[in-house]
A and B are shown apart, each in its own frame.
Chain A
């Protein structure tokens, strides 16, 4: 059971004691005050947790090659099944024309008790892998009980099959090889609900060193090109045959815009079949609605998420989706370039989304940031989803042409004030640090019941920010599928607490090149338990429980 020892209200710290992690009913007045202004505190524990030696390598050597600015991501997984989350980080590479790689392209850190990490790249079989890699998504695609990893890359992608804690690269034998494209986002989802996870791969643009375009902002000084100068590549979709191999079924994606940087699965129309939303860079965003048989029809334009309010395609990056207000409609959040607001699209029914960036109060504060990583989690455990954006520009001298926009930027935390209106948290502590953020993932790595943050930088370190908010209880729901895919990806989990429902959709990928904790974590405020819990499993089965105490619960499909 999760219990916190103190509540912080403004500058006052209230201590209270849990008897065996229980407490008497909270004073309603105090509870109300806390709900109104719960301070969210992060502490940078990167070095003390054992991640201090990590540094992403862009391979930059002065020629301003486009891919240098885009990486990289990272994520969490429990690769050894010990119940403690581990961290995988994409450490980048050098270009093949520039000599040998100086470090492994993918590094793995095993989580230990007490929130410490130990690098196990060598032991996990990742040391020999060389790839100009970008992002990760994690899922047990072969249903053998351990998490596998898909890594997107500039050239050939990697499927890392987990074989008892050692990863083996199996993309060719699994049917995912045979081509070389710049891939970015990837999402495992069980599109046809056959119990095996299929794979969507979002691709970016055609780029090779030989076809690198000379772009300049000032005089004869080369600068990084924008994606408009390059041709996009459409995404690919692979159906899982259930025998460890995939077959390509990209017909529904052919001819559609590429330049993808973010993708997330969601059952937006609640028909029980997973849909897919794709964020594209300077191309229209896409909504792939599942026809109910594992195939898709694209409805981005008619649904209203393809463009901004003026009908222009924006520079879409990271994406996340969640219910952030009482309407029960999913809201899609998409990070964008500086000068463009974070996209906030709420589903209002009948397949229609309404743009709410300005109304949500996220729009204006996001105008000066270039948002790559973006995710939703209830950081203050006050029963609604907050938003984090991980920001950093690609142009070193951007301040000379866009006053107020900086190269290195702060990450932003938008606190949900209820009903989908947000306020930006004060830029103090770690939120005052300027960096070239790219990936962002959340996970309760220290198992204290609140979401912590992992942020990756382009050409820089990774950052692990421990959530020390010291408020409230939470419920983490671990799901194990039996008829459905083993990771229960595509489950819809709802809890009823304090008179309202919260829900989470179990997904992989999302954000930007990153994998967050897959198990849903619900903030309960001061409640000690949820009144009821419902799970709609990916294959359509339903499960409910009542009076679940705060902490962690593991549910097995069919049990």
Chain B
């Protein structure tokens, strides 16, 4: 369907926040799964970005009207912001003008992949190939989706077809390696990884997966060498530090493992593997008191993970329940994995829910951005929420906090003052205002804005 302007207020469009107030442009489009494919999806975006589609698709792009080009730009922007309903609506609008536009079907494939509607995504990619059999990335993405569905042979076939029709890429060989590894053909997997690295000797992810493969086959020295190659290219990556640390540990080099695992365990308290392995290392080093500390943290992290798993299982059983997505978001937030929590809430918001629940989810989402330090995004979301419902006290209170954290004291004062006018007994607002009056604003150090991605 085409984008219905009435569905989205001007304010929502300007902030990029879509408040699902009981109306969805695509009510039938719902989520069927978790967020596990985010990394894969990101990878496929990179692919498309790295390589210009050629042939029919390129010709179509060159002849697009400004109107359709704008729809596509808006759709891609909405997609990159995670506003999937809006992105779909824009693709529908573009389709009304150019139904055979390969790019829109390709983007649709990506959106449905993100929404875990993999079969719908596959159908969209199939349309792309019918329009342009040489469309770069379509078969690759179909391979990624097949991999996610456990159809490993299909994935391998798609990758090989992509190689034949479009040509090889690093990411293609990388994913081919992963599929071979998963299906139990380690030699082919290793060869594919090597091909990926021959195309791009700095492809860090391939080094890490090669290391994983070699570790599984018992070649620990080779695994460590590969992983160290990856870590040298991205020395600050905590995931990589964790892998290198554990591989040193497997090689009975507890002391060598220590400097790699300590930062991971301390930075990612939710990472039970890091806590557990660090505890193990301390045990081997005879530092039992420290070991106990990290074992206790591992236990706590394990329990948090268990709750996350239970929430994920509930989604697997019923992905159409907003409550299940809220629960997953809450559990991830509890374990301080804000990036994944945000994704869970975003996915939940694509489901048609009553207005009150949508506002609750939006408020939680904005709060998540606030908690993980993305103050600009948090402010944008709280502002949009208050435009939708000015009586929402929690949003007004939190928006004041966000403003204050960002050093926007006047705006913070306005928020809390307005809240007190609306709710005279609001103790929290009163307290914040008093703090604002007494603090030395000259010495205030503005909280740095961070992004909310997490990993591991």
Contacts and interface: CB of A to CB of B under 8 A. Distances in A.
Interface of A: 215-216, 226, 228-229, 284, 301-302, 304, 307, 309-313, 341, 352, 354-355, 358-361, 363-364, 367-368, 400-404
A9 B72 CA distance: 70
Contacts of A302: 279, 283, 288, 291-292, 295
A311 B284 contact: no
A341 B152 CA distance: 19
Nearest to A361: B218
Interface stretch (B62-70, B78-86, B268-276): B268-276
Contacts of A229: 313
A352 B151 CA distance: 40
B295 A359 contact: no
Contacts of A358: 215-218, 220
Nearest to A360: B218
Given A215-B317, A309-B246, A368-B184, A403 B295 contact: no
Give the size category of B's interface with A.
35 or more
B217 A364 contact: yes
A-side interface mostly = loop
A310 B276 CA distance: 8
Contacts of B284: 352
Contacts of B275: 311
Contacts of B292: 302
Contact of A228 (B150, B295, B302, B310): B310
A312 B310 contact: no
B372 interface: no
Contacts of A401: 149-150
A404 B183 contact: yes
Contact of B276 (A226, A311, A354, A404): A311
Contacts of A341: 216
Contacts of B317: 215-216
B98 to A, nearest CB: 36
Contacts of A312: 272-273, 302, 305
Given A284-B302, A400-B150, 9 more contacts: A216-B317, A307-B272, A307-B298, A309-B250, A311-B274, A352-B284, A358-B216, A360-B218, A403-B183
Interface string B232-268: 0000000000000010001010000000000000000
Contact of B184 (A228, A301, A360, A364): A364
B298 A311 contact: yes
Nearest to B286: A350
23 contacts: A228-B309, A228-B313, A229-B313, A301-B295, A302-B292, A304-B280, A309-B273, A310-B277, A311-B274, A311-B276, A311-B302, A312-B302, A312-B305, A352-B284, A355-B250, A358-B217, A358-B218, A359-B218, A364-B184, A364-B186, A402-B150, A403-B153, A403-B183
B300 to A, nearest CB: 12
A404 B181 CA distance: 12
Contact of A354 (B186, B252, B277, B309): B252
Contacts, number: 87
B218 A404 contact: no
A215 B314 CA distance: 10
Contact of A313 (B153, B215, B291, B302): B302
A363 B150 contact: no
A313 B274 CA distance: 14
B153 to A, nearest CB: 6
Interface string B7-18: 000000000000
Interface of B: 149-153, 183-184, 186, 215-218, 220, 246, 250, 252, 272-277, 279-280, 283-284, 288, 291-292, 295, 298-299, 301-302, 305-306, 309-310, 313, 317
Contacts of A284: 302
B276 A363 contact: no
A310 B273 contact: yes
B217 A311 contact: no
Closest 10 CB pairs of A and B: A311-B276, A310-B273, A311-B273, A311-B272, A358-B218, A403-B152, A359-B218, A401-B150, A301-B295, A402-B150
Contacts of B250: 309, 354-355, 359
Given A228-B309, A302-B283, A311-B275, A404 B152 contact: yes
Contact of B277 (A311, A364, A402): A311
A356 B284 CA distance: 16
Given A215-B317, A360-B218, A364-B216, A403 B151 contact: yes
Given A307-B276, A352-B284, A301 B150 contact: no
A316 B336 CA distance: 29
A404 B149 CA distance: 13
Contact of A359 (B152, B220, B276, B306): B220
B283 A352 contact: yes
B274 to A, nearest CB: 8
B183 A363 contact: no
Contacts of A368: 184
A404 B155 CA distance: 13
Nearest to A365: B184
Residue of B277, B284, B299, B317 with most chain A CB atoms under a 10 A cut-off: B317
Given A307-B276, A363-B216, A404 B310 contact: no
Contacts of B153: 403
A404 B184 contact: yes
Nearest to B283: A302
Contacts of A310: 246, 272-273, 276-277
Contacts of B217: 358, 364
A47 to B, nearest CB: 34
Contacts of A354: 250, 252
Contacts of A359: 218, 220, 250
Contacts of A304: 280, 283
Residue of A216, A228, A301 with most chain B CB atoms under a 10 A cut-off: A301
Nearest to A214: B317
A38 B436 CA distance: 82
A159 to B, nearest CB: 35
B237 to A, nearest CB: 17
B333 to A, nearest CB: 21
A301 B282 CA distance: 12
Contacts of B283: 302, 304, 352
A312 B456 CA distance: 13
Contacts of B301: 311
A367 B273 CA distance: 20
Given A228-B309, A229-B313, A404-B184, A301 B279 contact: yes
Nearest to A400: B150
Nearest to B155: A403
Nearest to B317: A216
Contacts of B299: 301
Nearest to B318: A216
Nearest to B220: A359
Given A311-B272, A311-B273, A363 B218 contact: yes
Contacts of A361: 218
A310 B217 CA distance: 17
A243 B215 CA distance: 53
A280 to B, nearest CB: 13
Nearest to A402: B150
A341 B217 CA distance: 11
A355 B284 CA distance: 14
A526 B315 CA distance: 60
Contacts of B220: 358-359
A367 B183 CA distance: 10
Contacts of B184: 364, 367-368, 404
A226 B276 CA distance: 25
A367 B218 CA distance: 14
B406 to A, nearest CB: 37
B337 to A, nearest CB: 15
Residue of A216, A284, A311 with most chain B CB atoms under a 10 A cut-off: A311
B252 to A, nearest CB: 7
Contacts of A363: 216, 218
B382 to A, nearest CB: 36
Nearest to A313: B302
